[in-house]
Amino acid sequence: MITFCCIFQDSDGHFLQGMLESLPSGSQVILMRTQSGFFTESHFIDKMTENGLEIIRVDYFYKEWSFADARNECQKFAERGWIYFIDADERVSFDKERDYALIKRLDEKIGGLLVNISSAAITKANNIDIATTKMIRMYRNNKGFYWQYGCHEQIAPSIQEKGFIIGITDFMIRHLGYIQEIDIIQKKYERNIELMAKDIGNKNISENDRIEYYEQLKNSITDYLNNYNAIENAKKVKHDNAA
């Protein structure tokens, strides 16, 4: 019924086993690796296959990075009725009997589903903050839906363009974040700021989306600057603990 799609880099590899262990048995899983390097995952992926997951591994080589392009490429390999995107550092809370029954009862007009995502992040005061947001992570396969924009990628416009509506569920994803991965936190901010700036310069973006992206870019730069001291302090703590 569900194909779970995960796009990851080698640096995310140590998160993969926990993510796979959280998925319901019998699911299809597309693991798309976007970088080649030191990471080898066969030992536990083979185990997950033995435990009932159908895992397809794909390497994706790109000239210019875009989250939307990567997701559109990944979903090409999905063979089940629903696509469910999940990151390597996320864990799915899924009641197989209850949730499958809910999906089967959905109105055919519902093309995508909002899922609850509980995330952890470092605050300006160097504390850990937990926030829950709703994002479209599940949607029907083979309906011509596609992702757009390089950063903060969206699929809702495509779903609505095809005449479908968005449903709401109580499905939950726990995002572990990169609380201990201090260098990755900093690089993630820099990457997102660069991608949003490119999206703003895209001639094909609508004026409404351009205005929204200006706001998101401003907020991202503000967050980056506000958290810089917390990141540097966390680096120092990590260094002191190692010593």
What would the pLDDT profile of 47-64 be if each residue is shown by its tens digit? 667 668 999 988 887 766
Q: Among 86, 78, 70, 82, which residue's Cα sits nearest to residue 35?
A: 70
pLDDT, position 208: 73
In the predicted structure, residue 6 carries a pLDDT above the cut 50? yes
Q: Which amino acid is at 230?
A: A
Residue 67 CB neighbours (<10 A): 19
In the predicted structure, residue 221 carries a pLDDT above the cut 50? yes
Q: What is the mean pLDDT of the chain?
A: 80
Shared domain for 77 and 121, answered yes or no, is: yes
Instruction: Read off the pLDDT of each residue in 26-32 and give the average, rounded to a whole number.
Output: 94
Of 175, 190, 218, the domain-final residue: 175
Residue 28 CB neighbours (<10 A): 20
Of 132, 158, 175, the domain-final residue: 175
Please tell me the pTM assigned to this model.
Answer: 0.73
Shared domain for 137 and 216, answered yes or no, is: no
Of 128, 147, 175, the domain-final residue: 175
Shared domain for 125 and 238, answered yes or no, is: no
How far apart, in whole angstroms, are the C-alpha atoms of residue 174 and residue 148? 24
How far apart, in whole angstroms, are the C-alpha atoms of residue 170 and residue 54? 25
Shared domain for 236 and 121, answered yes or no, is: no
Q: What residues make up the domain containing 146?
A: 2-175
Indicate which CATH number applies to the domain containing 97: 3.90.550.10
pLDDT, position 38: 46
Number of domains present in the structure of the chain: 2
pLDDT tier, 81 (very low <50, low <70, confident <90, very high otherwise): very high
Per residue in 11-26, pLDDT (tens digit) is 777 788 889 999 999 9
Shared domain for 128 and 188, answered yes or no, is: no
Lowest mean pLDDT among 1-10, 41-50, 63-72: 41-50
Shared domain for 194 and 95, answered yes or no, is: no
